[in-house]
């Protein structure tokens, strides 16, 4: 395949001005020219856009009506609370308390004993117990490793071939590493449930009224509990795919930051509008226990045994997070796994996954396989950034009823086998920000899979690029999905579009929203120079999960 791409940078925005593409039968092109960085210029305000960078340097927002409605009450939500400690906080460097080297044969017990030794140490004032450092070498592991207590980190000596390699040898589907909390469900404090009385709570809303705020105080953790009715199912025409109202009762975790009479103000916006006519919603206090925090996996290469390209009896997930809060996975390369490098699951919140790579997965290329970076199980406020994939199917993907906000930022995929985007039944409030890959889609999946229907709502594709496919955006009634500043083979779908074929400002919506909320220092804490100067795609392409990413 030959392509001639000429890029110019307006502000921090890459604008594709020429592209010669040839359609591939199964995946996108694997090589791309370098990205250059011409001088920065100050743009004019584009005041007609839903969100735009004003001459003041801050974002401005215009209200809009959702699909099939005329009331312009909604605004693009602020996604910037996603990530460790609510965004803008650098990942910590936890001191080493135990160092081990590889032994001949199975290393599982040796590593697990070291983890258990550190987890039994007292936590310091920051909640850290310590790091287990695996020296460079290859560690065969028969089974899984588990971190099940807060403040414990498993660290290697590098994610390249000369660093620390954990080789999964067990010949059954399994997770190689788990960071696991305990408990289940969304615990409701008895007697605190109160109905939301605002008849239309729009996308992006930070406050609304309830029947009574008695018993609530500032700082309370709550659930904003959306409870749709049969009318909502009927107007979306989802009954034909087996949707029932109780299957879409969704908890959105929030905190109360202000109370004024019967009006409550939240720490993060509503990402799925609520209407009384569609069932409305409630709030109630929550008492979530069992989550672990301040634990992580970093600087390691994970490699799975496999028999052949379609083999499914081997390690499935490199790392899975369950009921975690303020945890992280960074600088991890996973090779030959069947499902994911990292799967964030089971009500995990405020986690960061960065500089990770999923390379050459081994399994059948069909459903429920090769979901390189996966988000599911009621998880919200999670940030995936500076990640890479080669050979996956759904590379940056959400499962059913994922509540949001969640963010996939500045990541690169090549040789993709299916689409990037929400995949399985009504994930809401997901930002795909500067994602490069093959197919990029949010749509009514109708009878696909197990009868998915609408895969997502309030899904934003911001300055995304498809190498040789179209980008598709459809919007369900009473909601909205957006394609803004995207570049692809062609525009597909009747969702909301702006600036098709030309990237827009700001270069990154997440980074701009974070700067507006917390300032430039917060941005510098969590981004690389490559992100800030707009050259991240080329850095990720040339890195490809081999060794340490040159963040510049």
The pLDDT of residue 451 is: 85
Cα separation, 31 vs 33, in Å, equals: 7
Cα separation, 483 vs 495, in Å, equals: 8
3 state SS of 237: coil
Q: Is the dihedral of CA 484, 486, 490, 493 positive or negative?
A: negative
Per-residue model confidence as pLDDT tens digits over 36-58: 333 333 445 568 899 999 888 99
Please give the average per-residue pLDDT across 485-498, as a whole number. 96
Residue 500, Cβ density class (10 Å: 0-12 exposed, 13-18 middle, ≥19 buried): middle
The pLDDT of residue 47 is: 80
Q: Are 201 and 281 in contact (CB under 8 A)?
A: yes
What are the φ/ψ torsions at residue 232 (nearest 5 degrees)? -65, -45
Residue 526: CB atoms within 10 A of its CB come to 23
Alpha helices for 204-350 (secondary structure H): 230-236
Q: Are 77 and 405 in contact (CB under 8 A)?
A: yes
Per-residue model confidence as pLDDT tens digits over 255-300: 999 999 999 999 999 999 999 999 999 999 999 999 999 999 999 9
Q: Where are the domains of the chain?
A: 84-183+291-543, 194-285
Cα separation, 114 vs 110, in Å, equals: 6
Q: How confident is the model at residue 540 (pLDDT cuts 50, 70, 90)?
A: very high
The pLDDT of residue 46 is: 65
CA-nearest of 210, 207, 100 to 155 is: 100
Q: Where is 537: in which H helix or E strand?
A: helix 536-543
- Residues contacting residue 228 through CB under 8 Å, at least 6 positions apart: 245, 248, 249, 278, 279
Residues forming beta bridges with residue 352, ordered by sequence position: 328, 383
Q: Are 160 and 305 in contact (CB under 8 A)?
A: no
HEC sequence for 187-228: CECCCCCEEECCCEECCCCCEEEECCCCCCCCCCEEEEEECC
Q: How confident is the model at residue 534 (pLDDT cuts 50, 70, 90)?
A: confident
Q: Are 480 and 495 in contact (CB under 8 A)?
A: yes
Written out in words, the top-level CATH class of the domain with range 84-183+291-543 is mainly beta
HEC sequence for 457-523: EEEEEECCEECCCCEEECCCCCCCCEEECCECCCEECCCEEECCCCCCCCCCHHHHHHHHHHCHHHH
What are the φ/ψ torsions at residue 191 (nearest 5 degrees)? 80, 5
The tokens describing 533, both together, are 């100067």
Check whether 26 has a pLDDT greater than 80.
Answer: no
Cα separation, 350 vs 352, in Å, equals: 7
Q: Is the dihedral of CA 447, 394, 370, 31 positive or negative?
A: positive
What are the φ/ψ torsions at residue 95 (nearest 5 degrees)? -60, 145
Residues forming beta bridges with residue 48, ordered by sequence position: none
CA-nearest of 239, 194, 244 to 215 is: 194
Residues in the chain: 552
Check whether 251 has a pLDDT greater than 90.
Answer: yes
The tokens describing 526, both together, are 């969590």
Query: Looking up tokens 């409605």, which residue turns up?
Result: 69
Q: Radius of gyration of the chain from Cα atoms?
A: 23
Check whether 465 has a pLDDT greater than 80.
Answer: yes
Residues forming beta bridges with residue 275, ordered by sequence position: 200
Check whether 371 has a pLDDT greater than 80.
Answer: yes
- Residues contacting residue 490 through CB under 8 Å, at least 6 positions apart: 470
Query: Looking up tokens 């496919």, which residue turns up?
Result: 469
Check whether 21 has a pLDDT greater than 50.
Answer: no
Alpha-carbon distances, residue 369 vs 365, 448, 493 (angstroms): 7, 15, 26
Check whether 103 has a pLDDT greater than 80.
Answer: yes
Cα separation, 259 vs 471, in Å, equals: 42
Percent of the chain with pLDDT over 70: 92
CA-nearest of 355, 377, 382 to 83 is: 382
Q: How confident is the model at residue 34 (pLDDT cuts 50, 70, 90)?
A: very low
Q: Are 263 and 122 in contact (CB under 8 A)?
A: no
C-alpha atoms less than 13 angstroms from C-alpha of 38 in its C-beta half-sphere: 11
Per-residue model confidence as pLDDT tens digits over 136-157: 999 999 999 999 999 999 999 9
Check whether 20 has a pLDDT greater than 70.
Answer: no
**Average pLDDT score, the chain:** 92
Q: How confident is the model at residue 517 (pLDDT cuts 50, 70, 90)?
A: very high
The pLDDT of residue 535 is: 85
Q: How confident is the model at residue 551 (pLDDT cuts 50, 70, 90)?
A: confident
The tokens describing 24, both together, are 């591939």
Please give the average per-residue pLDDT across 210-222, as a whole number. 98
Check whether 222 has a pLDDT greater than 70.
Answer: yes
């Amino acid at each position: 395949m030959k392509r001639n791409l000429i890029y110019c940078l307006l502000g921090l925005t890459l604008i594709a001005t020429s592209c010669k593409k040839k359609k591939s039968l199964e995946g996108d092109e694997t090589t791309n020219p370098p990205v250059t960085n011409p001088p920065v210029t100050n743009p004019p305000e584009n005041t007609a856009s839903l969100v735009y960078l004003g001459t003041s340097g801050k974002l401005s927002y215009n209200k809009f009506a959702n699909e099939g409605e005329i009331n312009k009450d909604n605004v693009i939500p602020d996604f910037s609370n996603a990530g460790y400690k609510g965004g803008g906080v650098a990942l910590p460097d936890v001191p080493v308390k135990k160092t081990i080297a590889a032994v001949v044969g199975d290393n599982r017990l040796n590593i697990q004993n070291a983890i258990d030794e550190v987890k039994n140490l007292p936590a310091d004032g920051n909640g850290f117990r310590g790091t287990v450092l695996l020296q460079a070498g290859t560690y065969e592991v028969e089974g899984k490793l588990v971190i099940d207590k807060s403040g414990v980190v498993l660290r290697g000596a590098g994610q390249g071939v000369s660093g620390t390699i954990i080789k999964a040898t067990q010949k059954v589907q399994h997770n190689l590493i788990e960071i696991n909390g305990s408990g289940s469900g969304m615990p409701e404090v008895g007697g605190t449930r109160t109905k939301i009385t605002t008849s239309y709570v729009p996308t992006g809303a930070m406050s609304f009224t309830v029947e009574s705020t008695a018993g609530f105080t500032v700082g309370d953790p709550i659930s904003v509990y959306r409870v749709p009715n049969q009318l909502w199912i009927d107007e979306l025409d989802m009954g034909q795919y087996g949707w029932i109202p109780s299957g879409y009762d969704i908890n959105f975790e929030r905190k109360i930051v202000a109370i004024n009479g019967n009006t409550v103000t939240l720490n993060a916006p509503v990402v799925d509008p609520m209407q009384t006519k569609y069932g409305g919603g409630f709030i109630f206090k929550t008492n979530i226990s069992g989550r672990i925090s301040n634990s992580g996996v970093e600087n390691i290469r994970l490699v799975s045994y496999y028999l052949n390209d379609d083999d499914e009896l081997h390690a499935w997930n490199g790392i899975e997070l369950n009921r975690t809060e303020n945890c992280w996975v960074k600088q991890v390369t996973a090779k030959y796994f069947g499902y994911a490098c990292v799967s964030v699951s089971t009500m995990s919140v405020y986690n960061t996954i960065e500089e990770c790579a999923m390379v050459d997965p081994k399994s059948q290329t069909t459903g429920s396989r090769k979901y390189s970076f996966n988000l599911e199980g009621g998880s919200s406020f999670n940030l995936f950034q500076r990640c890479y994939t080669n050979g996956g199917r759904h590379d940056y993907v959400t499962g059913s009823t994922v509540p949001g906000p969640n963010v996939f930022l500045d990541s690169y995929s090549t040789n993709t086998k299916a689409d990037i985007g929400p995949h399985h039944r009504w994930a809401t409030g997901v930002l795909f920000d500067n994602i490069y890959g093959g197919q990029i889609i949010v749509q009514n999946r109708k009878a696909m899979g197990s009868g998915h229907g609408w895969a997502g709502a309030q899904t934003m594709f911001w300055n995304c690029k498809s190498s040789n496919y179209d980008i598709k955006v459809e919007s369900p009634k009473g909601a909205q999905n957006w394609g803004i500043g995207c570049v692809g083979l062609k525009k597909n779908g009747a969702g909301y579009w702006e600036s098709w074929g030309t990237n827009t400002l700001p270069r990154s919506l997440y980074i701009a929203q974070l700067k507006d909320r917390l300032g430039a220092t917060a941005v510098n804490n969590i981004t690389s120079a490559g992100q800030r100067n707009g050259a991240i795609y080329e850095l990720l392409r040339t890195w490809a999960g081999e060794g340490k990413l040159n963040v510049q």
